[in-house]
Amino acid sequence: MSLRRSRSGNNIDSKLLHFLTEISYEEHEAYFPSDLESYLGHSYFRPSSLEEVQECWKGTIRLIREGRAPREIGLYLHWPFCPSRCLFCFCYMGVPDSTGILQRHAQSLRAELTAFAEVFQGVPFTSFYFGGGTPTFMPDAELESILTLVRRDFPMDPVADICMEVSPVTVTDNKMDILRAHGINHITLGVQTLDP
């Protein structure tokens, strides 16, 4: 494989950037689904243990620290719930049938953040995107606790793009205060918001 140059000017040996190629499979189908249903229901990754994924990321972080991988690294969290499905949406999401599933997913997000906090210690993220679904559909206390963990354990570059998907249906003044307090500097609104 040839050397590539990153945005920061480092020469990158693409053989060393192995995380996605080791964990993912059926790559063509993952990135270019043959139909919409394969996007909605296709599993892009083979089953992997938490330890295996942590080890892959540790290898990537080691390369970043050695200057052999791009320093740009982004954090993505997924909240797969909305109060209803928009007609244009093909994202992995669902409309929950109880508040219990919301609490269990928030608990899982917190557990995963905690499991990876040490792996990424001292590596500033250049972007953070909290998408879905609609993260502002989360109860305020859950949103606050997850953003607190992110800001505490995943340092952000001073010029990081810190983005969250919101919906006018689910965002409140209190949620906007939470987003502001946690440094969210970019929000996205779906095109359904153009309809009064």
> Two tokens at 189?
């609104």
Q: Is the pLDDT of residue 41 over 70?
A: no
Per-residue pLDDT averaged across 90-112, rounded? 86
Give the model's pLDDT for residue 32. Answer: 42
DSSP state, residue 36: H
Q: Which residue has the tokens 């557990």?
A: 111
**pTM of the full predicted structure?**
0.74
Give the model's pLDDT for residue 194. Answer: 67
**11-13 and 3-5: which strand pairing?**
antiparallel
Strand partners, 11: 5
Task: Kindly write down the DSSP assignment for every residue of 83-133, as one continuous string.
Answer: SS--TT--SS-B--SSHHHHHHHHHHHHHHHHHHHTTTTT--EEEEEEEES
Query: CA 40, CA 45: separation in Å to the nearest integer?
Result: 14
The predicted-structure confidence for 141-169, as pLDDT tens digits, reads as follows: 999 999 999 999 999 999 999 999 998 88
- The answer to whether 93 touches 81, Cβ cutoff 8 Å, is yes
Query: CA 86, CA 95: separation in Å to the nearest integer?
Result: 11
**Which is more confident, 91 or 101?**
101
Burial 78-101 (b: 16+ CB within 10 A, else e): bbbbbeeeeeeeebebeebeeeee
Q: Is the pLDDT of residue 86 over 90?
A: no
Query: Percentage of the chain with pLDDT > 70?
Result: 72
Give the model's pLDDT for residue 96. Answer: 82
Per-residue pLDDT averaged across 119-138, rounded? 92
Query: CA 60, CA 86: separation in Å to the nearest integer?
Result: 37
Strand partners, 159: none
**Which is more confident, 188 or 4?**
188
Q: Is the pLDDT of residue 31 over 80?
A: no
